[in-house]
Structure 1
Amino acid sequence: MKLLEDLLRIPSPSGNTYEIISFIEDYLKELKIESKRNRKGGLIATLKGRDSLHHRMLTAHVDTLGAMVKEIKGDGRLKLDLIGGFKFNSIEGEYCTIETSSGFKYSGTILMHQTSVHVYKDADKKERNQENMEIRIDEKVHSAEDVRALGIEVGDFVSFDPRVEMTPSGFIKSRHLDDKASVAILLQLLKRIQTENITLPYTTHILISNNEEIGYGGNSNITPETVEFLAVDMGAMGDGQSTDEYTVSICTKDASGPYHYELRKRLVKLAQENGIQYKLDIYPFYGSDASAALRAGHDIIHGLIGPGIDSSHAFERTHQQALEQTAQLLYYYVQSEMIL
């Protein structure tokens, strides 16, 4: 839980993930696990297994939703361009940080231009879109020139305050649980494997990808020997969904199509044999690093699991129990026999 909180508090919108990748790199060094960066900026750790002719890859993505400065307005406010698939209404009223290309950081708040009900009679009727939403910078600025004097420019990254809270009842409330919850789970899995001195049956790669929210995080650096590719992401909740905040969700199909049937059945069997609470589900508007890998042409068996998370791409919440169930399934999966 502490590791998850640390990850959540490090800003990492897609395209600006250097700081959090460095944090994970240091974490792995302490475990004496070698890792390397790919050219996209993601991180790959490899555990040698008894069988080096057949590989597994597990991936979770550390990049999050975010934004960029689209325009510096004449009144000193900023227009936004969104990074990732979410709606403007989900960030209205949120505190944010603008990071300049030289590394300076400024705080702000994302608001409707027509926020004040004492001035704008139709404030409630205005559409939440790029035209009407803006950042109010916490600096004394009155013009575009004042803003540029701070070093802020078009293309600067904007990250959202995660507002991390862990309740006594075991809930975790925060932005960006998609997919930092699963990153924490994979890092903890690596620690457990090292601590228990486990030799895995197959050489296993852990990819911490950094472009999943924009569609191509896990589509490269897959060795030719890789047979199984398991994305560890989030289970989507809502009307018609069986996923909840207390179990591991095993995805049967998403917007990219069905996941590998035999792998799905084996994940279910592992859960049943080891008393792991799980749900099967379809995510209608969803894609993963595993589906990106297939689209890139890799000949792999692909799967997708993750803790159930409520209100995805907005005000997310899960429970410690979902993290535990996901961690347990992964623990038994990486030690299981492969589909060959």
Structure 2
Amino acid sequence: MSSAISIDPHYLVARLKALLAIASPTGFTDEAVRQTARELERLGLEVVLTRRGAIRARRPGAARRPARGIVSHLDTLGAQVKLLKPNGRLELVPIGHWSARFAEGARASIFSVKGTYRGSILPLKASGHTFNEEVDTQPSGWRHVELRVDALARNQHDLTQLGIDVGDIVAIDPAPEFLENGFIVSRHLDDKAGVAVMLAALEAMNRERVETPVDTYWLFTIGEEVGVGASAVVTPDIASLVAIDNGTTAPGQNSSEFGVTLVMADQTGPFDYHLCKKLFELCGTNGIRVQKDVFRYYRSDAASAVEAGHDVRTALLAFGVDASHGYERIHLHALISVAKLVVHYLQSQIEIERDAEETAVGLKGFTHQKVPEAEQDLTPEDGQEG
């Protein structure tokens, strides 16, 4: 096993930039799927697509089972047209869960039957010269913003003539910035940065000719932001599924924009004890910075896989994101750290051989959760009261 895994930062950043350049709100992911599938094929993997476009690509290992899966999602937050308003503007509903506070001021594209239009999402009272302090005191929420289309759109009739209709998809501009100090600021880093991490890990494995004890599956989903996620892309061969997604660096959280954030639980409950323990130990063995966190208001592809009935061990590796689901910020250090851990994990030996079968008779080979007794020195030191 190599301990000197080299992740190419230039490749990782290039893939992230390419992904951010393609609009892919949930329900409008075909072009992102095409780009990712082509890159996987270039890296030598056979690509299988579900009907709607989730990607499953297999990299052969020494044995077929118990296979390991790595998953991230191609879909992002966005919006849809809810109503053509009498004033020629558009009422919106969000795709995914994100605050209208982050929508205000955003530039956006509307995908209509007659073409793509540009526009801005504005509060209902947007002119300080007209509304004065009411601009600051008006409520915040999706019913209190509207999309101004950059075309002749004075009323509902004009909007109809443009081909704009209820249900049209609206993509929010990412507005990315890649800073020389390693920070990356953009919308939709959740989870295009996760996709870039996976591709960078795969590129490193191919470049360094890393061999794995079992097959590895590289999964890319298209509906995570609306809760569908990995419900239809996992195969029975996969025994362990590791999701790559954002961690939240916010007050009360232990996530960081540096190193790996190993998520121990989210709103659906704890992740697999044995898989999390293995990933944490791999960080220590290979000198990868790691911190643990627990999320209250969070779910990932791993949750959707389990809820769909797949009996897989799950874990979540996160790169710390500041202002998640808004103008997000990450650091390249975290992305490279997660990619390194993915490679070390995939080349590590199988410890639970029983996982090769979905069910097995009896307890032979079943796991233990033995916790060593804590050392308790109850003798007070000199000078301390007993």
Give the TM-score of the pair, scaled to structure 1: 0.97
TM-superposed deviation, 1:207: 0.6
- 2:197 aligned partner: 185
TM-superposed deviation, 1:101: 3.8
Partner deviation per Cα, 1:301-331 (whole Å, 9 max, x = no partner): 1100021111100010011111111111111
What's the secondary structure of 2:333's corresponding residue? helix
What's the secondary structure of 2:229's corresponding residue? coil
- 1:315 equivalent to 2:327? Answer yes
Letter in 1 for 2:117: Y
- 1:19 aligned partner: 31
What's the secondary structure of 1:190's corresponding residue? helix
Instruction: Give the distance between the partners of 1:42 and 1:260, measured in 2 at CA.
Output: 24
TM-superposed deviation, 1:37: 0.9
List runs of 5+ in structure 2 lacking aligned partners: 1-12, 353-386
Instruction: Give the distance between the partners of 1:294 and 1:96, measured in 2 at CA.
Output: 35
Instruction: Give the distance between the partners of 2:350 and 2:240, measured in 1 at CA.
Output: 8
- 1:112 aligned partner: 123
Instruction: Give the distance between the partners of 1:10 and 1:292, measured in 2 at CA.
Output: 25
Q: Which of residues 220, 235, 240 in structure 1 aligns to 2:247?
A: 235
- 1:167 aligned partner: 179
Could you say if the C-alpha distance between residues 29 and 226 of structure 1 is closer, same or farther in structure 2, counting changes exceeding 3 Å? closer
- 1:250 aligned partner: 262
Q: Percent identity?
A: 37
Question: 2:55, 2:233 within 8 Å by CA — same for their partners in 1?
Answer: no
TM-superposed deviation, 1:123: 2.2
- 1:271 equivalent to 2:305? Answer no
Deviates more, 1:243-252 or 1:214-223: 214-223
- 1:87 aligned partner: 99
Letter in 2 for 1:153: D
Instruction: Give the distance between the partners of 2:348 and 2:160, measured in 1 at CA.
Output: 56
What's the secondary structure of 1:46's corresponding residue? strand
Deviates more, 1:239-248 or 1:195-204: 195-204
TM-superposed deviation, 1:339: 4.2
Partner deviation per Cα, 1:222-278 (whole Å, 9 max, x = no partner): 221211011111111111111111111100011111111111111010000000011
Q: Which of residues 137, 148, 151 in structure 2 aligns to 1:125?
A: 137
Instruction: Give the distance between the partners of 2:208 and 2:96, measured in 1 at CA.
Output: 38
Instruction: Give the distance between the partners of 1:53 and 1:267, measured in 2 at CA.
Output: 19
Letter in 1 for 2:124: H
Question: 1:9, 1:164 within 8 Å by CA — same for their partners in 2?
Answer: no
Larger radius of gyration: 2
- 1:37 equivalent to 2:49? Answer yes
Instruction: Give the distance between the partners of 2:76 and 2:18, measured in 1 at CA.
Output: 15
Instruction: Give the distance between the partners of 1:16 and 1:220, measured in 2 at CA.
Output: 18
- 1:74 equivalent to 2:59? Answer no
Letter in 1 for 2:224: E
List runs of 5+ in structure 1 lacking aligned partners: none
Written as runs of structure 1 = structure 2, the 5 A alignment for 1:119-158 is 119-121=130-132, 122-158=134-170
Give the TM-score of the pair, scaled to structure 2: 0.86
- 2:8 aligned partner: none
Instruction: Give the distance between the partners of 1:185 and 1:131, measured in 2 at CA.
Output: 36
What's the secondary structure of 1:136's corresponding residue? strand
- 1:217 equivalent to 2:229? Answer yes
- 1:304 aligned partner: 316
What's the secondary structure of 2:94's corresponding residue? strand
- 1:208 aligned partner: 220
Question: 1:263, 1:339 within 8 Å by CA — same for their partners in 2?
Answer: no
Could you say if the C-alpha distance between residues 339 and 145 of structure 1 is closer, same or farther in structure 2, counting changes exceeding 3 Å? farther
TM-superposed deviation, 1:197: 2.4
TM-superposed deviation, 1:130: 2.7
What's the secondary structure of 1:262's corresponding residue? helix
Deviates more, 1:33-42 or 1:108-117: 33-42
Letter in 2 for 1:283: F
TM-superposed deviation, 1:129: 1.9
What's the secondary structure of 1:110's corresponding residue? strand
What's the secondary structure of 2:347's corresponding residue? coil
RMSD of aligned residue pairs (Cα, Å)? 1.2
TM-superposed deviation, 1:151: 1.2
Question: 2:54, 2:233 within 8 Å by CA — same for their partners in 1?
Answer: no
Q: How many residues of Structure 1 are paired with residues of Structure 2 in the alignment? A: 339
Q: Which of residues 347, 354, 360 in structure 2 aligns to 1:335?
A: 347
TM-superposed deviation, 1:70: 0.6
- 1:282 aligned partner: 294
TM-superposed deviation, 1:96: 0.5
What's the secondary structure of 1:329's corresponding residue? helix
Instruction: Give the distance between the partners of 1:120 and 1:258, measured in 2 at CA.
Output: 49
Letter in 2 for 1:324: I
TM-superposed deviation, 1:131: 2.3
Letter in 1 for 2:121: I
- 1:262 aligned partner: 274
Letter in 2 for 1:61: H
